[in-house]
Chains A and B, each alone.
Chain A
Amino acid sequence: MYGQFKTIDEANRAVIDKVVSGSPFLVDVVPAKSVIEELNGKALLHAGPPIKWENMTSPMQGSCIGAALFEGWASNADEARTMLENGEVEFIPCHHVNAVGPMGGITSGNMPVLVAENRDGGNFAYCTMNEGIGAVLRFGAYSDEVINRLGWFRDVLGPTLSKAIKVKGDGLNVNVMMAKAITMGDEFHQRNIAGSLIFLKEITPFILQTDVDDKDKQDVIQFLADTDQYFLNIAMASTKAVMDSARQIQHGTVVTAMCRNGHEFGIRIAGMGDQWFTAPVNTPQGLFFTGYDQDMACPDMGDSAITETFGVGGFAMIAAPGVTRFVGAGGMDDAVSTSNDMMEICIDHNPNFSIPTWDFKGSCLGIDARKVVETGIEPVINTGIAHKEAGVGQIGAGTVRAPLACFEKAIDAYAVKLGLIEPAVNE
């Protein structure tokens, strides 16, 4: 019934074994269209499960307009909007093409993407690069500043990092960087400053060895030094590569993806392969910059919940005391109980990422959708909060919960697929 596995528990164990053995390396930075065939046409990737233009949040629509301008499909915002409204651009979930994208997740062919290779599974995953804070595409801004920065990414940052990684030769071992950073207070979603520093420390010597012109080297290093969240996108591509390898085992109830498009939250479980199970997204709660409040918060967006799927992010709250107060105004005790709560819905600890503040227990490993339904404990996700109007950008940060209904639908469908229960009549 469960393939080569006798029980669901055994299948789940096999899936999480693949997560533990996952071995992601950052091997290149390339134009998206060179690795994602679909982006050679008029197509955009977006975060979350499939969505139509009319259901997108204002920031995600703003990102689409920005991408259309960046790609030169339109000469101004109005033209771009008309084109998008007329259905001239195909929308594809990042997750359908081995990719993940933060916030709106909008990715176009000429944007450079980080390439993570999982040397255990032999598969690849991709993610755009972090733009820093302020006016950025992922929050729906499409001013000249944003478009120009993307141009610099395409012309300077991407190629320079690609060259530097090639000087290194065999790629950068991401597990090693993450294992160090988690002991330095990162949880890889809200806080990535340690990972970003480690990356800077690793890559700088190789940047210096490239043939890139000095001014560009200087700018690249300055950008990396200024961008506290740079490592988030490396972690996203890497955890995506690992989870994709694990979900080749198509049995059991381990959650293999969680993502949000501002309209719906979607999850996948191993036993149901590529199928999405969706429910309306929640809106994050948290702390806001002055002048902004909860009413202005955009509903939950982004593929960055791949980090929580992997067992870090909100699940590793205890690793990142510096950001625990986003949970409420709590301290270490709240952080411990958040991570302890998340362990109630996970199968084991990941020995690769030992957390000193958690008595050196490993990070959470393997969300079991059954346990989520049984206990009613919804996965917690640490997240930036976008303004609900495009272009305003980030207005705060906080946490949000994955809706229970996704998990209920997933295990229901799995039980039906296995022939263990009749489909519910009223659905």
Chain B
Amino acid sequence: MLYTIVKQNSYQDSVNLMLLTNKISTMEGINKVQVMMGTPANKDIFKGAGLYTDELEGAASNDMCIVVDTDSEELIQAVLDEVDNYLNNQALSSSKEAFETVRSWDKATAALPGANLAIISTPGQYAAEEAEKAIDRDMHVLIFSDNVAVEDERRIKEKAHEKGLLVMGPDCGTAVVSGVPLAFANVMKTGKIGVIGASGTGIQEVTTEIDRLGAGISHAIGTGGRDLSEKVGAITMLDGIKALAQNSQTEVITLISKPPAKEVRDQVVQLLQSLSKPVVAIFLGEEPHNHEGNVYYANTLEETAAIAVDLVKGNPIKSNYNTLQGDVPAVELKPEQKTIKGLYSGGTLGYEAATLISRGINFDNSGDHAEGYLLNANGFEVIDLGDDIYTQGKPHPMIDPETRIQYFQKAAQDESTAIILFDVVLGYGSHEDMASALIPGIEKIQKEAQANGKNIYFVATVCGTDQDPQGIDDQKAKLAKAGVILRDSNNQAVLTALAMLDITIAEVQKEVVPAKETATAEITVSEAIQKLLTEKPNVVNVGLKKFTEAITANGGRVVQYDWRPVAGGNPRMRKVLSVLR
């Protein structure tokens, strides 16, 4: 049955009324509805829709006409309420974003004049091209993308170096410049320790540990994992060290790297020893026995942070910071339970665990490993679940718990497993509540183990700060409640896990020996790099939109470049465009 309501002198725009009509038509019990102004043309439309009634005849152009086809008259009041509600609440909820979104470099630089840093997270095959476009526009670059050819990396870095610009990456997962966290980064206190590293989670572990020990960082520069290879020649590392050496906010420099090529290492160390500022360096996997002059060598990421903090606070440097802290939990294990399974989301944390465990079990871990394995010896395993082979078609384990839970289960099925060791990495970009995401999997394994009359222990470290979006205290509390044994650093987590199996590592005591005489290097730093380390950056974010959040939340300005491959990646069109310049 048709019901007609004519609201006299109640003009509304036709678009509004079409939207209103759509809305009412979704109400239950309404067969058909039309809301229109009573113009002659609209009355014809009512006729066309089979909704014309005699009451409409008297309606004028300024009268709102509502015709409802419904079987229940009671609904009419509900319709009228909905109409009033809609018309009274027309303001659209607009969640205005704090940044502009563009689709080209030209618009990006127009939208953010003074842009001096580009974050590039496009697919790897396009990253070099986009990085060069940024360098051509006098911008520093952080290349988050991986799969960039090493020749391209060298070319880009040389070009940037000549222009006095810095290229962080490729495969640079994290950085902090002038208090602004970039990519997967933690939020931490500002201080006087400048960090430069060739490893993303290595930087995260050291900087969050610095924060936990009550100091802060000035900047954290990521170089990308290949920077210290012979092919690249540490271009970014050398420029970055000089920049931190010259930067007035930086008093202590901290360097994190896997062991570099010999010649490159010599070049880097020579530069470090020529500096007037103290330096803490860790070449992961090496086992240093001395400090040399102003350069302090650390054995673990934890020690790296601890030395840096003592240096900046003016405390005397101890000969060793690697002692096991805290009690070793008592364990009840079956005789066959003898091994640790390390299942890491942070590659460098896993690498450190593998190094420490192999020392503990006296295993020479220098040989080649199957893909993804950092250690595989006598049932002791450390796996980097962030390795390419585990992330194909799946999100990174810092974002998604699924792969990790699956490997937890696999580890639990191995009869030799006593302890499952893992990391939770917090910060921008990571899962918003990884603890809660992992706990059901952990509890299930513990329950099943108990049903089989045995225990499986979980030992973990949470890499993060209390300022991180996830909040480290909350994450730790949740994990502890689920029975996970937590330690403040990766080193302590590994040492604890080993001690639970009665395995200890011989501690190295280090003394300061004088460095060989080195001429003081002449340090020149370009104005562009100086500016990067003194002012909050203006960022063009090319690719992953979520990276904008950390920037805007920490006082940086950003324009989002919704990147798409040029001409959709069509090779013919790319060629046509290149000749039609």
Contacts and interface: CB of A to CB of B under 8 A. Distances in A.
Given A290-B21, A322-B15, A411 B575 contact: no
B579 interface: yes
A290 B33 contact: yes
Given A291-B48, A323-B15, A132 B576 contact: no
B78 interface: no
Contact of B44 (A134, A291, A331, A396): A134
Interface in A354-373: 370-371, 373
A412 B576 contact: yes
A290 B576 contact: no
B567 A8 contact: no
A411 B577 CA distance: 8
B496 to A, nearest CB: 52
Contacts of B13: 322
B103 A373 contact: no
Interface string A287-325: 111110000000000000000000000000000001101
Contacts of B15: 287, 322-323, 325-326
B568 interface: yes
Contact of A373 (B25, B96, B102, B573): B573
A420 B567 CA distance: 18
A343 interface: yes
A379 to B, nearest CB: 14
Interface in A340-393: 340-341, 343-344, 370-371, 373-377, 392
Given A289-B18, A344-B102, A414 B580 contact: yes
Contacts of A415: 576, 579-580
User: Which of B21, B34, B567: most chain A CB closer than 10 A?
Assistant: B567
A190 to B, nearest CB: 9
A408 B51 CA distance: 47
Nearest to B90: A331
Interface residues of B, number: 40
A370 B577 contact: yes
The 5 A-B residue pairs with the shortest CB-CB distance, nearest first, are A331-B92, A291-B49, A420-B579, A290-B34, A287-B18
A290 B51 contact: yes
Nearest to B568: A376
Given A133-B41, A325-B15, A408-B567, 14 more contacts: A132-B41, A291-B32, A332-B92, A332-B94, A333-B94, A340-B100, A344-B104, A344-B107, A373-B567, A376-B564, A408-B576, A411-B576, A414-B580, A415-B576
Contact of B19 (A325, A377, A424): A325
Nearest to A336: B100
Interface string B533-576: 00000000000000000000000000000001011101011011
Contacts of B530: none
Contacts of A377: 103
B92 A374 contact: no
User: Which of A290, A330, A333: most chain B CB closer than 10 A?
Assistant: A290
A373 B103 CA distance: 12
B581 interface: yes
Contacts, number: 100
A27 B332 CA distance: 99
A375 B49 CA distance: 42
A409 B484 CA distance: 62
A408 B570 contact: yes
B19 A333 contact: no
Contacts of A323: 15
Interface of B: 13, 15-16, 18-19, 21-22, 25, 32-34, 41, 44-45, 48-51, 92, 94, 96, 100-104, 107, 564, 566-568, 570, 572-573, 575-577, 579-581
A358 B441 CA distance: 53
A291 B50 contact: yes
A371 B573 CA distance: 11
Nearest to A377: B103
Contact of B567 (A133, A290, A331, A374): A374
Contacts of B581: 8
A176 interface: no
A47 B116 CA distance: 49
B34 A376 contact: no
Nearest to B100: A340
A407 to B, nearest CB: 9
Contact of B579 (A340, A341, A421): A421
B580 A411 contact: yes
Contacts of B19: 287, 325, 329
Interface of A: 8, 132-134, 253, 287-291, 322-323, 325-326, 329-333, 337, 340-341, 343-344, 370-371, 373-377, 392, 396, 404, 408, 411-412, 414-415, 418, 420-421, 424
16 contacts: A290-B32, A290-B33, A291-B34, A323-B15, A332-B94, A333-B96, A343-B107, A344-B104, A374-B577, A375-B564, A376-B564, A392-B48, A411-B576, A411-B580, A415-B576, A421-B579
B572 A424 contact: yes
Nearest to A253: B580
User: Which of A333, A376, A408, A414: most chain B CB closer than 10 A?
Assistant: A376
A374 B44 CA distance: 46
Contacts of A326: 15
Nearest to A407: B573
B572 A412 contact: yes
A21 to B, nearest CB: 25
Contacts of B102: 340, 344
B440 to A, nearest CB: 38
User: Which of B45, B51, B104, B576: most chain A CB closer than 10 A?
Assistant: B576
A333 B97 CA distance: 10
A329 B579 CA distance: 41
A329 B18 CA distance: 11
A415 B50 CA distance: 56
A136 to B, nearest CB: 11
User: Which of B18, B49, B102, B107: most chain A CB closer than 10 A?
Assistant: B18
B566 A374 contact: yes
Contacts of A375: 103-104, 564
A133 B67 CA distance: 21
A30 to B, nearest CB: 28
A324 to B, nearest CB: 8
A373 B107 contact: no
A341 B577 CA distance: 20
A334 to B, nearest CB: 9
A412 B41 contact: no
A253 B13 CA distance: 39
Nearest to A413: B576
A296 B26 CA distance: 20
A341 B22 CA distance: 28
A375 B25 CA distance: 39
Given A322-B15, A376-B564, A421-B575, A341 B103 contact: yes
Nearest to B49: A291
Contact of B580 (A289, A331, A420): A420
B45 A289 contact: yes
Contacts of A371: 104
A326 B100 CA distance: 23
B573 A408 contact: yes
A134 B39 CA distance: 12
Given A287-B19, A323-B15, A377-B103, A134 B580 contact: no
Contacts of B32: 290-291
A326 B15 CA distance: 8
A64 B92 CA distance: 43
B45 to A, nearest CB: 6
User: Which of B15, B104, B576, B580: most chain A CB closer than 10 A?
Assistant: B580
Contacts of B564: 375-376
B552 to A, nearest CB: 17
B363 to A, nearest CB: 53
B133 to A, nearest CB: 12
Contacts of B92: 329-332
Nearest to A252: B580
Contacts of B51: 290-291
Contacts of A343: 107
